[in-house]
Structure 1
Amino acid sequence: MRRGVYAKRIVYSSMVSDFFFPQPGGVESHIYQLSTKLIDRGHKVIIITHAYKGRTGVRYLTNGLKVYHVPFLVIYRETTMPTVFSFFPIFRNIVIREQIQIVHGHQSLSSFCHEAILHARTMGLRTVFTDHSLFGFADAGSILTNKLLKFTLSDVDHVICVSHTCKENTVLRASLDPLMVSVIPNAVVAENFRPLHATPHANDRQSGGTSQLQHTPRPIGPNDIITIVVISRLFYNKGTDLLIASIPRILASHPNVRFIIAGSGPKAIDLEQMLERNVLQDKVEMLGAIRHEEVRDVMVRGHIYLHPSLTEAFGTVIVEAASCGLYVVCTRVGGIPEVLPQHMTTFAKPEEDDIVLATSKAISALRSNKVRTERFHDQVKVMYSWTDVARRTERVYQGISGDISPQEFYGYYPGEIQEAGSDRIRNFSLIDRLKRYYGCGVWAGKLFCLCVVIDFLLYIFLEMLFPRANIDIARSWPKKLNEASSTKTERDRLGSTS
């Protein structure tokens, strides 16, 4: 088979994470959009997450996407209580019912993700982990999280990070081979985040006309109101304290500025108290928690999007804001500088004075009409695509499954194949798995090996007590005729070129 051309086969994969809809967020949107695009490309995808209020059991979403809401105890920020082994019986049942081949976990703080990867490797399944966050190395919480990540990624087939900064952070935290980590960024559905002046008329679509604009945005005058939008979880790491300190100073310097803040969290009380102390209720509108489908309607009410985060691996919300035609003011932390070009953003240090200064610069730039925000949507639409994310993720699946040669997938030179390839291609032998875990630390390595042995014994017990033959295989969602034929045509085309 020629280099770069490989036979495409249908992959049965499972996305596992504590974070999924109806909770809004970047990780939740990433899992949903990636899953639907992989289904569009002919693969089977299911999602395993915990039960949310009013959502328990099995749910079907758009495009036949099946979601298993497992009833587990949630202890903090929609994260389930880590139990290590109690999730295994139901996870095994789901995986066998759905004939899963690859388990894809998301997010470092997800208990379901870590446990699913451990159990999947015990069951002889390929695994992928996607990291969406950045963590430090000094505080107690980060040290424990990094040790947990080291445990999980010691026996994972491949890792995906959403930015190059995130990749560097993950490689250092988990002591990974950089060639086992790919960078695949987030994306947005640009059609769902159109600015007001680019909202298409229904009659224009039906008639096939070229006029797609409701109106052209008029220049902002010196006395016009400029609205700054903030949509974020109100937690410390999202820079809510910086936001609380900056708002009174920004409003004092710019009387014709208003704020719209959407989101919920423990810092919401501090934000409300600040508004009462400074009597700013008429200039700051707090919307509370909003659903993801309402984000665009809130964003198009503003001119500037303010993102004062202290740490961020990617920042999908700033891409959504730029797609809606907002000028972005954000902190220069983590992977944020990789997300948007400089003409769409004004960067600030994660400090109160610098955020106030950067916001003032953005306000002046809009009033002087130096920024052409009406062009942002079309530019973002070209830069980010979920179809491209799904295609690159599919290549990772093909690489760990052996459909792509190791030298093409990992990118090392032919002379290194024998030596390097053996370390990167994970086998399922228990003794080899124990060797990988044993090197995680003097005490941690022994503890990790004990967990793996217990997990393996539990798996043998489940196989004896609940044989696979007694588990019914779930029927796949019926594909439309044109979808099935297009998938078959693509397979035939790829096969004919090999």
Structure 2
Amino acid sequence: MQNHTAELTRSLDRLGVNQIVLTTRPPGSPAEERLATGARVVRVGAPVRHLRQGYGMYAALRAPSLAAGADLIHAHQGEDLAVLPVAASLAAAYDLPLVVTVHASLRHTLRVSGPRSLALKVVGTAVEAWGKRRAGHVIALTSRMAGRLCRDGLPPDRVHVIPSGVDPALFAAAGPDPVVAGLPRPRVVYVGRVHPGKGVLRLVEAMALIRTAETAAHLAIVGDGPARPRVEQAVRGYGLTDRVHLLGAVPHDRVPDVLAAADVLVLPSFYEELGSVLLEAMQAALPIVATRVGGIPTVVEDGVNGLLVPPDDPASLASAIGRLLTDPWLARRMAASGRARAAEFAWPALAERVFDVYQRTLGRHETGTRALAADAASERV
């Protein structure tokens, strides 16, 4: 979600939209920085690693001073329960219209695994319903989520489908990342948060099966997150320290170089509303293996630009990866198909559609809109 917000902010800046992005402050990041000519990022010091749902409470202390002079508030709803009510309350207090983009929904996407997650889902469902009713317009990343929102009671004329995008300019000058390129081929990459919901442990299990099948492959895990210790333990447990490489987080502008050095991208998530890294892999002309969950099938067409497998199924994951690694013709065909489709997701065109939603929300047609964007996460992949 953080990459979506950053790229959208840059593209809206080119359209003359002045923006302030309010987000979390991971350790070592500056309190403020300029993202584009008319866009600055303000970070608040929420202890996100230990109190994930606490960001909104910290944001509430800072947001009022930033809202002065804004024309609207754009809330990016993710995992943090408090973001939406803070944004809705701020909009009401300052009489500002509210736009909400739904990246994740506690009601629709949270997997219940115990009492805590069940309580979070119940409370989150109520909070989301309250906040979205106060939004002038709601943006869904996929038609699947848009349909769910309409079934929840939102008027269809207030719900818009605008997916995540990719910036072709970032890939124009991409060259193979030297760290990834230094690994033996073939190279499988995962790019994203190392989070339990991302299925990285299942990918490690799949790599163990691939080794057993005597298919040579190296996996680069590019990202960081709370599940990293468990992933490292699994790598050691399966004896894969020579095959699986945890490279840590990289700035987003290095992702094109990482993908340029890869042979296959894998996204083994248990849930993913869209998955912007899939769009980036398509732009980089990489074949894809992903799970058939959430909105992924709206981006990856099984057998056309990638292979889809059931979630939580290491054997199917290993089989699909092995198929692409051992069939170069199939891999090239899927890579070419993905590259052709990536043009549908170029950020400049998508930003125009978001700007149109702003204008409709404001009820007027003029340039120079000033937006306050609330984003629930700013950690780099």
Judged with a 3 Å threshold, the aligned counterparts in structure 2 of structure 1 residues 114 and 179 are, in CA distance, closer, same or farther, namely: same
Question: Does the aligned pair in 2 maintain the 1:50–1:69 contact within 8 Å?
Answer: yes
**What is the 5 A alignment of 1:109-188?**
109-110=79-80, 111-134=82-105, 135-136=109-110, 139-172=118-151, 174-188=152-166
Judged with a 3 Å threshold, the aligned counterparts in structure 2 of structure 1 residues 89 and 327 are, in CA distance, closer, same or farther, namely: closer
Aligned residue type for 1:93: S
Cα distance in structure 1, aligned partners of 2:235 and 2:44 = 40
Deviations 1:230-284 (A, max 9, x none): 1121222111232132110012214322211122223222222222233222222
Q: Secondary structure at the match of 2:37?
A: helix
What's 1:413 paired with? none
Judged with a 3 Å threshold, the aligned counterparts in structure 2 of structure 1 residues 124 and 187 are, in CA distance, closer, same or farther, namely: same
Give 1:396 deviation, angstroms. Answer: 0.9
Give 1:128 deviation, angstroms. Answer: 0.4
What 5-or-longer segments of structure 1 have no aligned partner?
1-26, 200-223, 405-474, 477-498
Judged with a 3 Å threshold, the aligned counterparts in structure 2 of structure 1 residues 228 and 88 are, in CA distance, closer, same or farther, namely: closer
Name which of 92, 97, 100 aligns with 2:64: 92
- Is 1:101 aligned to 2:71, yes or no? yes
Judged with a 3 Å threshold, the aligned counterparts in structure 2 of structure 1 residues 384 and 116 are, in CA distance, closer, same or farther, namely: same
Give 1:117 deviation, angstroms. Answer: 2.1
Give 1:46 deviation, angstroms. Answer: 1.8
Deviations 1:301-329 (A, max 9, x none): 22111111110100100111122221100
Judged with a 3 Å threshold, the aligned counterparts in structure 2 of structure 1 residues 92 and 81 are, in CA distance, closer, same or farther, namely: closer
What's 1:30 paired with? 4
Cα distance in structure 1, aligned partners of 2:277 and 2:185 = 23
Give 1:297 deviation, angstroms. Answer: 2.2
Give 1:334 deviation, angstroms. Answer: 0.6
Deviations 1:30-57 (A, max 9, x none): 1122122222112222212233434454
Question: Does the aligned pair in 2 maintain the 1:195–1:324 contact within 8 Å?
Answer: no
- Is 1:249 aligned to 2:209, yes or no? yes
Question: Does the aligned pair in 1 maintain the 2:310–2:316 contact within 8 Å?
Answer: yes
Question: Does the aligned pair in 2 maintain the 1:194–1:377 contact within 8 Å?
Answer: no
Name which of 275, 293, 296 aligns with 1:315: 275
Cα distance in structure 2, aligned partners of 1:108 and 1:374 = 30
Give 1:341 deviation, angstroms. Answer: 4.3
What's 1:346 paired with? 307
Judged with a 3 Å threshold, the aligned counterparts in structure 2 of structure 1 residues 147 and 323 are, in CA distance, closer, same or farther, namely: same
**What is the 5 A alignment of 1:451-490?**
none
What's 1:69 paired with? 43
What's 1:460 paired with? none
Name which of 356, 359, 367 aligns with 1:398: 359
Judged with a 3 Å threshold, the aligned counterparts in structure 2 of structure 1 residues 122 and 228 are, in CA distance, closer, same or farther, namely: same
Cα distance in structure 2, aligned partners of 1:90 and 1:253 = 55
The structure with the larger Rg is 1
Deviations 1:447-478 (A, max 9, x none): xxxxxxxxxxxxxxxxxxxxxxxxxxxx99xx
Give 1:109 deviation, angstroms. Answer: 2.6
Question: Does the aligned pair in 2 maintain the 1:323–1:376 contact within 8 Å?
Answer: no
Give 1:59 deviation, angstroms. Answer: 2.4
What's 1:365 paired with? 327
CA RMSD of aligned residues (A): 2.9
Cα distance in structure 1, aligned partners of 2:175 and 2:224 = 29
Name which of 167, 172, 184 aligns with 1:189: 167
What's 2:181 paired with? none
- Is 1:235 aligned to 2:195, yes or no? yes
Name which of 17, 20, 27 aligns with 1:43: 17
What's 1:375 paired with? 336
Name which of 293, 317, 327 aligns with 1:355: 317
Give 1:87 deviation, angstroms. Answer: 5.2
Judged with a 3 Å threshold, the aligned counterparts in structure 2 of structure 1 residues 230 and 314 are, in CA distance, closer, same or farther, namely: same
What's 1:459 paired with? none
Question: Does the aligned pair in 2 maintain the 1:105–1:114 contact within 8 Å?
Answer: no
Q: How many residues are matched? A: 350
Name which of 221, 246, 261 aligns with 1:286: 246
What's 1:277 paired with? 237
Question: Does the aligned pair in 1 maintain the 2:101–2:139 contact within 8 Å?
Answer: yes
Question: Does the aligned pair in 2 maintain the 1:225–1:257 contact within 8 Å?
Answer: yes
Judged with a 3 Å threshold, the aligned counterparts in structure 2 of structure 1 residues 234 and 156 are, in CA distance, closer, same or farther, namely: same
Cα distance in structure 1, aligned partners of 2:22 and 2:55 = 15
What's 2:379 paired with? none
Question: Does the aligned pair in 1 maintain the 2:31–2:43 contact within 8 Å?
Answer: yes
TM-score between both structures, scaled by the size of structure 1? 0.64
Question: Does the aligned pair in 2 maintain the 1:56–1:70 contact within 8 Å?
Answer: no
Q: Secondary structure at the match of 1:391?
A: helix
Cα distance in structure 2, aligned partners of 1:237 and 1:128 = 27
What's 2:226 paired with? 266
Aligned residue type for 2:358: Y
Give 1:197 deviation, angstroms. Answer: 8.4
Question: Does the aligned pair in 2 maintain the 1:319–1:340 contact within 8 Å?
Answer: no
Cα distance in structure 2, aligned partners of 1:321 and 1:329 = 11
Give 1:68 deviation, angstroms. Answer: 2.2
Cα distance in structure 1, aligned partners of 2:132 and 2:67 = 20
Aligned-pair identity (%): 24
Question: Does the aligned pair in 2 maintain the 1:249–1:356 contact within 8 Å?
Answer: yes
